[in-house]
Amino acid sequence: MKKKFIKMLCSIAIGCMIGTSCIAKVSAAPINNTKIKSNEINISENSSKSERIPSTKSKPLGLNATKANTAKYSFNDLNKLSSKEILDLTSKIKWSDISDLFQYNNDSYAFYSNRERVQALIDGLYEKASTYTSTDDKGIDTLVEILRSGFYLGFYNDSLKYLNDRSFQDKCIPAMIAIENNKNFKLGEKGQDTVINALGKLIGNASCNAEVVNKTVPILEQYYREMNKYPKDKLKADAVYSLMKEINYDISQYTYDHNIRDGKNTPWSSKIDPFINTISKFAGISKVTEDNGWIINNGIYYTSKFAIYHSNSSIPHSVIDKCLEILPAYSEQYYIAVERIKEDFNCKDSKGNVIDIDKLLEDGKKHYLPKTYTFDNGKMIIKAGDKVDESKIQRLYWASKEVKSQFHRIIGNDKPLQAGNADDILTMVIYNSPEEYKLNRTLYGYSVDNGGIYIEGIGTFFTYERTPEESIYSLEELFRHEFTHYLQGRYLVPGLFNEGDFYKGNSGRITWFEEGSAEFFAGSTRTSVLPRKSMVGGLSQNPKERFSADKILHSKYDDGWEFYKYGYAFSDYMYNNNKKLFSDLVSTMKNNDVKGYENLIENASKDPNVNKNYQDHMQKLVDNYNNYTIPLVSDDYMKKYNNKSLNEIKSDIENTMNLTNSQITKESSQYFDTYTLKANYTLDSNKGEIDNWNYMNNKVNESLEKLNKLGWGGYKTVTAYFSNPKVNSHNQVEYNVVFQGLLTHNKNFNEAPTIKLDFPKEANTDEKIKFSSEGSADDGKIVSYTWDFGDGEASSERNPTHAYKTPGTYTVKLTVTDDKGLKSEKSASINIKKVLKGNIVSEKENNNDYVNANPVYSKDLVNGSVSSSDDRDIFYFNVTKPSDITINVEKINKDKSEFSWLLFSEEDKSNYITYPNKELENLFYSTVKIDKPGKYYLVIYKVSGEKSDYRFNIEGDISASPKDDTDKDELVISEKEDNNSFDKANRVCKNQSVIATLDTNDPRDTYYFDALTAGNIEVTMGNTDNSSNEFNWLAYSSDNTNNYIGYATKREGNKITGNFKVDKPGRYYIVAYKTSSNKINYKLNIKGDIDNAPKNDEIYEKENNDSFETANKIMLNTTVLGNLNGKDVRDIYSFDIKEAKDLDIKLNNLNNLGLAWNLYKESDLNNYIAYGSVSGNTIKGKCNVAPGKYYLYVYKYSGDNGNYSLAIK
């Protein structure tokens, strides 16, 4: 029986995710386990997006603007260190800081060939094992990776084979046990979780014994008890998974090496029951959730795998039996149990009863794939989930015709290489979603760590429907890619995948071509192959990061997924600029000429012109990215047309080209009938292979265009190709030509609704945008509208309104459903710009260093510029709590000058936190998660040009301006210098806050307030620079300015607060001062029963006003605020009367003083003409006066210190 081989078809992996958790399994090395392959269940693979980091030239002058944790050491460096120095170093660096870890070279050989050094590292691990803490792993993670790297290299290189000897690897066991004996060996802080994870990985690459295994039980038990506390904690999940996986790996390796199949007579047999019993607890969880699905999966898997080592294997076996009873039917976990019973227990339960596994699998297939569609007289079969829309199924069929037409044109062959293969009938299996696709592992037995997979040996490929959030590639794109693999195996490459001559001796020989050209042909249309925006977008913006011709022509699956995009670009380059190379490569494959192929690759990879032209072509693709689309089948395929006979169609096609020997046949499909017309075409002259191809390509496309103009809509579904060129008996070049298209629809066909989208192409953030579907129609009735705005928001309205919160280009999709359940969807892009808003402020020079950085607040919109003479501006802001911070910097001038920016923390001004990793026209922005509140610096710097003008704002939880950081009823005032002494103190009233500054020349500020009653006073002083340890305040009474009566007692964030009691009304002082040499910006607030601030029509008395000569002049109908005390017992005011009138005089006593007033006329200052009478706290009186000047004499006759208000009306 021939082995079934797999062709990986997806453009990007989604991860081997036998679980429902978002937690990802991340290997610490390029190849995590390197000895043998096992059928283990991973949680998932980590998928990361590469980011474009600033180039060297973009770094601010004078700043060490480097990203932290870049590769800092190589084995060449490590070879120069002693063992002790290496051990010390592991506590200071991460394993990723060693650039050539897991790589074999002269330096790594020199490092690991020194047995004494390796032994010293193992001994060092033992010492570290007893000293790690909950927060500090003591470098164990890095040291373990160095050891694992050695064992890895020892497995693959005979020169280091001593490292692959189990007896040597056993030397790590004492260190492992020491790790487990440490009191901190438990799940908890990062240091603990990291060490547990490292232990698991070391077991996998070294070895373990029963003691090591059983000492992991407390960790598994703890996770079982507490996993609901940290459902999303990836590090803890990794640690637990690592232990189970790597212990199984090491035991499996041992039994493989010793040819033990029954689990008997191993170092673990009947000795690790506690470990197996604990794992089985996870398998016994019956309530499956999004968070625990992955651990149930692995509990089932490893309970089953370890069962043969249990002292009574029926115990773990019975746990798996129980899974079929307690788990939800058809769930992923249920079918993992089914798979284990089949694989590990020979389809029997723990009592020996046979379980009909085949029936369970068939039931699962019927459940997940209830729909079957047939096309082309049964030559194409699609099995699909019930949620895969029927219109999409039909579109996939038509997509296959477009891909097929362009494939055969370029390949030049449409005759199967081998007759009678399974691919005579193509079967496609399409699941409803990525989650359901995971079941394919059990139901059909194939890998699911991909976006699609083609099994050539059975002529079937498997994939799934997906949303834009689940994949950047649509179902049709993936289908087109996978269908190309079907065509490659059937018409291009002889032999089954991985079996034919092209796979012998080098299984990756044509990998780049198979995957790259599959991505290329996915862009097929009826007439050509177009650039795919989804592919071009994956090419690096930086030319230096792109693949060379040599690199892409030798790329394999082991190199990751990136080569798919560059293989696509090389195929597109050949199609447009080097058809000769494309044709030659194809010819060697069709002719099974491996040597000829290798010669072509060798020559092309070394040809500088090929590489230059390839690079130029990629640059052209990148430059024109915005002009590209994603080629998909048009709506013309989904419309009903009037019937047309085969003879009419045959005649029309023949009239467009001078065809001979034409024959037309009909094929039946589930929804329609199609036709295939086959004929010959003879060239007038032979102009050579490439010119002949170009002529035929144009000729066939001209024919399609002529058919389009005939008026029958069905001709818009016609695809055509030419192939199999040969020289006939008259020495003429003759081609086979094939036309395929729609003939007529049958009763099963429901015409899809037509959609009309209407909305602006551009708008701004927060702008309400109107979206319209007016003009959409159906042959029946449209019953629902579903809008997907591309930002996670949706609407079911017919004509909704929506606003975008963040800038960017969004794909808006409208899906409509008719009354028969048929759906249509249409998409279009909208470009959302960001208009920066805020209170406009300008940078203040000189702000070129951190000391003189300008402050930025939450509502600021800062304008500035950098130039040749002023190459950087530095600003600071304070993050008030952990949050996402977005920095938006917009270039104002339209010239070619360039600037950039970097963000630093106050604690580390050498390593930047982020840079503008997003760009939208002239806006350069980034969002970064800040975990630690504090001060941060934004450095904007010139890159090129004479001058760049910019503006920016900062979004997130940052400090507000002191002027804004007030209560609604609070008035902000500024200090007035000189206020450094009690006699020059600034007044502060109720509901007032003072903003002020302390520096080297002004280390002290003094304020006073007037207490109206005895009671509690609260003073708050906040440092707007976010540091509370560089300033303080003290409180004094006016009766005694030598001894303070209050001070700050509480520190909270950037504020200090204190409370003190005043035992009587009167005047009190607050002295604010700084305790360091730094400049301090602060805000001061006083709360309590203190005097109110004057209103707009109020004035303060001005001392000295104790005599008639120094009297304060006042206006009628104005309120005057004054104070009297032991040293100031009277105040005198003057006012003018222009006409005779009655005066109403009121003196309000604010502090229970003994107060009185007398009224004098200027002509007689010895005798008063009126006085006030006491009425509660008011001394009031009335008097009729003639024109002239008058004086009001206010005095106290009892009490120490108090305030008053005076009004004359």
Amino acid at 1179: I
C-alpha distances (whole Å) from 9 to each of 447, 517, 1165 are 12, 11, 109
| CA 1026 – CA 959 distance, rounded (Å) | 9
What residues pair up with 722 in beta bridges, in sequence order? 737
**The two structure tokens encoding residue 462:** 């498997």
DSSP-assigned letters across all residues of 586-635? HHHHHTT-HHHHHHHHHHHHH-HHHHHHHHHHHHHHHHTGGG-B-----G
> What's residue 40's pLDDT?
35
C-alpha distances (whole Å) from 191 to each of 44, 82, 183, 649 are 23, 26, 13, 75
Q: Where in the chain is the domain with CATH 3.40.30.160?
A: 369-473+480-492
Strands, E assignment, 351-425: 371-375, 380-384
| CA 684 – CA 732 distance, rounded (Å) | 7
Sign of CA dihedral 44, 45, 49, 51: positive
Cβ atoms within 10 Å of 642's Cβ, excluding its own:
8
CB 41 within 8 A of CB 301: yes
pLDDT digits (tens, 9 = 90+) for 494-508: 988 888 899 998 889
pLDDT digits (tens, 9 = 90+) for 9-31: 332 222 222 332 222 222 222 22
| CA 904 – CA 938 distance, rounded (Å) | 7
Q: Which residue has better confidence, 1081 or 80?
A: 80
Q: Domain 762-833: which topology?
A: Immunoglobulin-like (2.60.40)
Q: Is the pLDDT of residue 35 over 90?
A: no
Q: Is the pLDDT of residue 33 over 70?
A: no
Cβ atoms within 10 Å of 1133's Cβ, excluding its own:
20
The answer to whether domain 839-955 has CATH 3.30.950.10 is no
**The two structure tokens encoding residue 389:** 């829309």
> What's residue 419's pLDDT?
83
pLDDT digits (tens, 9 = 90+) for 405-429: 999 999 999 999 988 888 899 999 9
> What's residue 34's pLDDT?
28
**Span 635-745: which CATH code?**
3.30.980.50
| CA 900 – CA 941 distance, rounded (Å) | 6
Return mean pLDDT, the chain: 88
Q: Is the pLDDT of residue 1150 over 80?
A: no
Q: Where in the chain is the domain with CATH 2.60.40.10?
A: 762-833
pLDDT digits (tens, 9 = 90+) for 1062-1080: 988 888 999 999 887 777 8
Q: Where in the chain is the domain with CATH 2.60.120.380?
A: 839-955, 971-1087, 1098-1208
CB 238 within 8 A of CB 26: yes
Q: Which residue has better confidence, 547 or 1103?
A: 547
pLDDT band at 1095 (very low <50, low <70, confident <90, very high): low
- Residue 983 per-residue DSSP state: G
Closest CA to 1120 of 1146, 1155, 1156: 1146
End-to-end CA distance of the chain: 115
> What's residue 70's pLDDT?
43
Closest CA to 9 of 518, 427, 694: 518
pLDDT digits (tens, 9 = 90+) for 679-702: 999 998 899 999 999 999 999 999
| CA 990 – CA 1011 distance, rounded (Å) | 10
Q: Is the pLDDT of residue 32 over 60?
A: no
Range with the lowest mean pLDDT among 41-55, 250-264, 626-640?
41-55
> What's residue 438's pLDDT?
93
> What's residue 1118's pLDDT?
82
Q: Domain 971-1087: which topology?
A: Jelly Rolls (2.60.120)
> What's residue 970's pLDDT?
67
Closest CA to 14 of 429, 340, 338, 440: 440
**The two structure tokens encoding residue 1010:** 């007037």
Q: Is the pLDDT of residue 337 over 50?
A: yes
| CA 1103 – CA 1130 distance, rounded (Å) | 10
3-state SS of 432-469?
A: CCHHHHCCHHHHCCCCCCCCCEEEHHHCEEEEECCCCC
* Peptide bond preceding 1164 in cis form (omega within 30 of 0): no
Q: Is the pLDDT of residue 822 over 50?
A: yes
Q: Which residue has better confidence, 286 or 1199?
A: 286
Amino acid at 80: K
**Span 1098-1208: which CATH code?**
2.60.120.380
Closest CA to 61 of 913, 951, 870, 862: 870
> What's residue 1101's pLDDT?
79
> What's residue 660's pLDDT?
95
Coil, strand, or helix at residue 1113? strand
pLDDT band at 1025 (very low <50, low <70, confident <90, very high): low
Among the options 40, 332, 436, 482, which is catalytic? 482
Looking at 3.40.50.2300, 3.30.260.10, 3.90.1150.10, 3.40.30.160, the CATH number of the domain 369-473+480-492 comes to: 3.40.30.160
Q: Which residue has better confidence, 710 or 1152?
A: 710
Q: Is the pLDDT of residue 966 over 60?
A: no
pLDDT digits (tens, 9 = 90+) for 188-215: 998 999 999 999 999 999 999 999 999 9
| CA 1145 – CA 1133 distance, rounded (Å) | 12
Range with the lowest mean pLDDT among 276-290, 353-367, 896-910, 1023-1037?
1023-1037
**The two structure tokens encoding residue 270:** 């009947």
pLDDT band at 1097 (very low <50, low <70, confident <90, very high): low
| CA 1108 – CA 1136 distance, rounded (Å) | 14
Burial of 51: CB neighbours in 10 Å, binned 0-12, 13-18, 19+: exposed
Cβ neighbors of 682 (< 8 A, separation 6 or more) are 660, 728, 732, 733, 734, 735
Q: Where are the alpha helices (DSSP H) in 943-1042?
A: none
Q: Is the pLDDT of residue 66 over 70?
A: no
> What's residue 504's pLDDT?
92
> What's residue 1078's pLDDT?
77
> What's residue 41's pLDDT?
38
CA 171 to chain CA mean position, Å: 42
> What's residue 969's pLDDT?
57
CB 579 within 8 A of CB 690: yes
| CA 1126 – CA 498 distance, rounded (Å) | 106
Ramachandran sector of residue 652 (left: φ over 0; alpha: ψ -120 to 50; beta: rest): alpha
482 as an active site residue: the answer is yes
| CA 659 – CA 653 distance, rounded (Å) | 9
CB 578 within 8 A of CB 571: no
Angle between helical axes of 332-344 and 293-306 (0-180°, round to 10): 10
> What's residue 536's pLDDT?
96
Range with the lowest mean pLDDT among 78-82, 273-277, 936-940, 994-998?
994-998
Q: Where are the alpha helices (DSSP H) in 186-331?
A: 190-205, 210-214, 217-226, 234-257, 273-283, 293-306, 314-326
